[in-house]
Structure 1
Amino acid sequence: MFPSLSSLHNVPCPDEHACTRPSCIFSHTLGHYSLPELDIPLTQERPKPSTSTQPHTPPPVIPHKRPVPVSPPGPSSFSTTSTRPVEPPRKFQKVGLQSRAFPVASGATHTDTGVPIIRVNPALSHTPIPTRQAMVKTLYEHYVTLYGPLHKANPSLASEHALRQEDEVYQKSTKGTYRVAVIQCIASIKRREKPTSVSHISVGTSAEVQDKLEAKDSLESLQLSNELLEPLIHSKEELVKWGYIVDIPPGEGSREPSREGKVAKCERCTQPFQVKRMEEADECTFHWGKALMTRVAGEKTRVYTCCSRPAESEGCVHGPHVFYESGPEDLHARHGFSFLKPPDPSRKTLDVASMDCEMIYTTGGMRVARVSIVDGSGKEVFDEFIRMDDGVHVIDYNTRFSGVTRENHSKAPLDLAAVREVLNSLLSSETILLGHALDNDLKTMRMIHHRCVDTALLFPHRAGPPYRRSLRDLVKEKLGRIIQLGTGDITAGHSSLEDAVATLDLVRWQIINCSKPSASTPSTKPSTSSSTPA
């Protein structure tokens, strides 16, 4: 049986364009011909055979496709050869999901009871929002219990940490494990130690507490030694440049311990006054804060940090007139300078020590009232209050910054000379001393030492010398701790023991995180008053 005639539709007609059949069973598709000279549109009727007797001339070849008009040059760096769309219609495109946006809790609003309200996109949450809100409420209640007195002073702390803790658990769990993970987290919160300050290691989410523990272990496990600290020791030239006294000043030491009855310039109000002991001192009105540049009503002006008043305003607090001396000869006249003794094989001295002092105003200028020393591992080796020399009387304990009160200072057993003898059994001229603004501590201790590592020089102020960053700011930035909070009372002041440990940890942080020390540029304007905390 013959195949269907439609199978001949793909066979070129043998008569080609001379074909006269009205319904030819062969193919007359233009693609089967090769006529390069002729461009015949697809809609043009096929030419009829000529009846002329002239010799037959083969028709020109028709191209396979009609020419495509060239698009004008556009901003694209490539051109297409077809007028068809470059991409399929949108409904046929395979549209993939964008990167997943994890829900982030926001504590912008709270319930009447203080419980933060979680704000997330329900479509992106694998756990129902009511369930998550219930878990936030439970976490918040346990954080309030954990923080105790801290919650009253910092009411937003528990709220922020509850939201962060819930999101932290959510990111690590699935719909099936979420509830159990939150319950386990609450159990760990219950086991935490009650914090005593916002910088306590128990404050924060589980991940934050774990990071604090690891950082603390890393610091405490580093035993500072001469080998580690030798590259950080400042040269004698650097010490001289930044106000260290490197040689004993001329003149007889301790020749004039007190200036009681003499006229001096008040460190607080800059007015001349007669130096008198606390019980007889004249009153001074002053600002205990710094005058810093700020903008008020769009204009730059200097205001005091203590009361936010303009720099030209009257003082905001009252206290006695005091004076401060920084010249080497004056300091030497009040109490003589001396070097630490050389190493002695018969006594064991520390290779590394971190020292900090607290000072008060006296009739002999600013004098040391407490000194604290820890060894290279952070262990306390000395912490004592120091009573004044004979003939020297207290004018102001400056408790706001020194932390020294009449009660604790009255129990001081030793004067400065006796304390220096004790320190000679702990330190030697080869001991590497660490400190922040260590030049001030050495001056008030009347101690001359050349092997020093000063964190004020290791971490320069961005404004450059003579400014330097405060110890509190450095500890907060580098160690994530807050120091110099006292007991919560603004008059509680600093703790020299806490500052000595913080300085040691800053040096540890520098060694762990930096292969080379920062430029040894001190970053602080030399302090001229104990009312400016280091």
Structure 2
Amino acid sequence: CNPAVPSPHGSGGVLPEDPAGSAAGSTAGCGRAKGLSFLARRKEEDCSCAKSSSGISPTLSLKACTLAGMASKTTSTIMPKRIAHVPSLQSTSLQRPVIPTEFGAKVPTNIRQRYLNLFIDECLKFCSSSQEAFDKALSEEKVAYERSTSRNIYLNVAVNTLKKLRSLVPNSPTKTSNKKVVSHEAVLGGKLAAKTSFTLNRSGSLRAEDLTGAALYRRLKEYLMSEEQLKENGYPMPHPEKPGRAVLFTAEEKKTTDSSCRICCRCGTEYMVSASGTCIRKEECVHHWGRLRKQRVPGGWETHYSCCSGAVGSPGCQVAKQHVHDGRKESLDGFVKTFEKLPTTDGYPGIYALDCEMCYTKQGLELTRVTVINSDLKVVYDTFVKPDTKVVDYNTRFSGVTEEDLENTSITLRDVQAVLLNMFSADTILIGHSLESDLFALKLIHGTVVDTAIVFPHRLGLPYKRALRTLMADYLKRIIQDNVEGHDSSEDARACMELMVWKIKEDAKVKR
């Protein structure tokens, strides 16, 4: 076997060993490369033994093999073409519904669309058809939107709706684990933690017993309103010279020059009354029962009523039989003040949350219901109250009190004051939301107060205050005051107590 490879050009010589010759051979055409590849493979197969015995230079063999490998790699191969993904007919058969864009809406359209898509994803898991899933998701989103008066409330309602839909999915996977539950303290302490004498206590954590009784009382004292705050927020204060009379520091007492002329607190109309408080001329009160809310619109902000989205100055959306006025801060006589009592054995004067409901009478707003709960969220006093004068509007939309509720009631304001003076002392902590309004209705003077409207202030400061239902939605993720029949005083009082317990826990985390 001759190791010399014939030249493809017919020269009969061997391959040159200089680099220039190698370069020339490597740059030959495709036909030459195929010939070299064939000859090199024959050389490797038939003459492997001759390389060592014939005395041919190893360098020549290496170059021949190298050229053969380079030639083999220059052969062309056919690559398969890439095929683009084609969507299935199932995903393109039905278009998902889209929330129409509405400028200045109470909930942004993109947020509504996001939750609608989540509702659809869950409904597709248990509905028989895509159209059925779309219809159910649309109805659920519509209910959530109609129940909400703001963006935050919508988010909470939507989250609860999403949880409800997920619970309807059949055979939903539940995470089960047979692993033994180990506490964080056990992990820190190690295997010998149970056998040794040391313990691990977190300085900032609160146990259940730290938020009851005297322990809760001590923590709530940090949130008590000062005397300056009581005056600034319009709380009734004792008159320095006239016992049984209150004084108000935020507004001057109304001059009694013309007691027959009043201004309606709902529509702002001036109207005349007789000496007994009866309207001289019967006329309807057309008003907006909602509050003014600012809404962002293209180019700026607009102010609308929350009840009907009407602009400022638009005709009212509610019609009442006659005009009414507040009158609570004008009649400052008949007030009682909580008094000092001997301390109990445990040094715990008590913690209560209270809320009152009122209706319009000839003399203004008067008490119709009062509810008091203790720190364990249990109702300790709840009663309807008969107003002193004739009722002209039961204010059921907000009070929840109807004519039937007061029909057989004989409890008067004086009876309620006697019960509360026996239940409270001057050191008892009373919790409420804008509690000055309730104290005016009760004609009660009390200075040991925790007001959730002050603990959770409005970002714009006074006189703006955040609504109780907004605080519950933002911090405790719960919807309250959602009954079309009016507020429930026990629900509102319980909400105030729960907010303060939550606040204490959160502040304890910061202090750790």
The DSSP-based 3-state class of the residue aligned with 1:401 is helix
Structure 1, residues 184-235: CA drift from partner, whole Å, max 9, x if none? xxxxxxxxxxxxxxxxxxxxxxxxxxxxxxxxxx999953521221212122
| TM-score normalised by the chain length of structure 2 | 0.57
- Alpha-carbon separation, structure 2, partners of 1:411 and 1:352: 31
Alignment of 1:233 onto 2:224: yes
Distance 1:367 1:163, change over 3 A: closer
Corresponding residue for 2:260? 262
Question: Identity of aligned pairs, percent?
Answer: 31
| Correspondence for 1:341 | 339
**Take 2:390 and 2:422, find their aligned partners in 1: how far apart are those partners?**
28
Partner AA of 1:165 in structure 2:
S
Whether the aligned pair in 1 keeps the contact of 2:386 and 2:409 (CA below 8 Å) is: yes
Deviates further, 303-312 or 370-379: 303-312
- Shift, 1:415, TM fit: 1.5
Unaligned runs of 5+ in 1: 7-21, 31-39, 46-90, 92-105, 110-115, 122-128, 141-146, 175-217, 519-534
Task: Check conservation: 2:277, 2:363, Cα contact below 8 A.
Answer: no
**Which residue in 2 is equivalent to 1:243?**
234
Give the residue type in structure 1 aligned to 2:421: N
Give the distance between the partners of 1:355 and 1:251, measured in 2 at CA. 27
Equivalent-residue separation in structure 1 for 2:416 and 2:166 (angstroms): 50
| 1:459 to 1:41, Cα distance in 2 relative to 1, 3 A | farther
Deviation track 1:454-486 (CA, whole Å, cap 9, x = no partner) reads 111111223333211111111122222222233
User: 1:268–1:322: 8 Å Cα contact kept in structure 2?
Assistant: yes
Q: Secondary structure at the match of 1:508?
A: helix
**RMSD over equivalenced CA pairs, Å:** 5.1
The residue type equivalent to 1:341 in the other structure is F
Structure 2 residue identity aligned to 1:231:
E
Q: Deviations over 1:333-370 (max 9, x none)?
A: 3x33x221212468998510001011112223222211
CA distance in 2, matches of 1:365, 1:249: 26
Give the aligned residue type for 2:398: F
1:460 aligns with 2:457: yes
The equivalent residue for 1:324 is 326
The verdict on how the C-alpha distance between 1:441 and 1:300 changes in structure 2, with shifts beyond 3 A counting, is same
Partner of 1:417: helix, strand, or coil? helix
Q: Is 2:443 aligned against 1:446?
A: yes
Q: TM-score, structure 1 length as denominator? A: 0.54
Q: Which residue of 1 aligns with 2:189?
A: none
The reply to whether residue 309 of structure 1 matches residue 310 of structure 2 is: yes
Structure 2 unaligned residues grouped into runs of 5+:
4-12, 26-78, 80-93, 98-116, 135-139, 148-156, 177-206, 247-255
SS across alignment from 1:306: coil
In the alignment, the residues of structure 2 paired with residue 285 and residue 517 of structure 1 have an alpha-carbon distance, to the nearest angstrom, of: 49
| Residue type of the alignment partner of 1:421 | A
Q: Please give the alpha-carbon distance, in whole angstroms, between the structure 2 residues aligned to 1:300 and 1:261.
A: 40
1:16-72: per-residue Cα shift (whole Å, max 9, x none)? xxxxxx979xx9788xxxxxxxxx998499xxxxxxxxxxxxxxxxxxxxxxxxxxx
1:500 to 493, 496, 501: 493
Preserved CA contact (<8 Å) 2:127 2:133: no
Task: Map 1:62-73 onto structure 2 (within 5 A).
Answer: none
User: 2:238 corresponds to which letter in structure 1?
Assistant: D
Indicate conservation of the 8 Å contact 2:239/2:245, yes or no: no
> Higher helix proportion, which one?
2
Residue of structure 2 equivalent to 1:424: 421
Pick which of 235-244 and 278-287 moved more: 278-287
1:512 aligns to 2:505 (yes or no): yes
- What do residues 357-397 of structure 1 show as CA deviations (whole Å, max 9, x unaligned)? 111122232222111100111111101112223xx322221
Please list, as runs of the form range in 1=range in 2, the aligned pairs for 1:248-397 lying within 5 A after superposition: 248=239, 251=242, 253=244, 262-275=260-273, 282-283=282-283, 284-294=285-295, 301-316=302-317, 317-325=319-327, 327=329, 330-333=330-333, 335-336=334-335, 338-344=336-342, 351-389=350-388, 392-397=389-394
Classify 1:362/1:275 alpha carbon distance in 2 versus 1 (closer, same or farther; 3 Å): farther
Check the 8 A contact 1:432/1:451 in 2, yes or no.
yes
2:366 is aligned with what amino acid?
R
> Corresponding residue for 2:57?
none
Q: Distance in 2 between the 1:478 and 1:296 partners?
A: 28
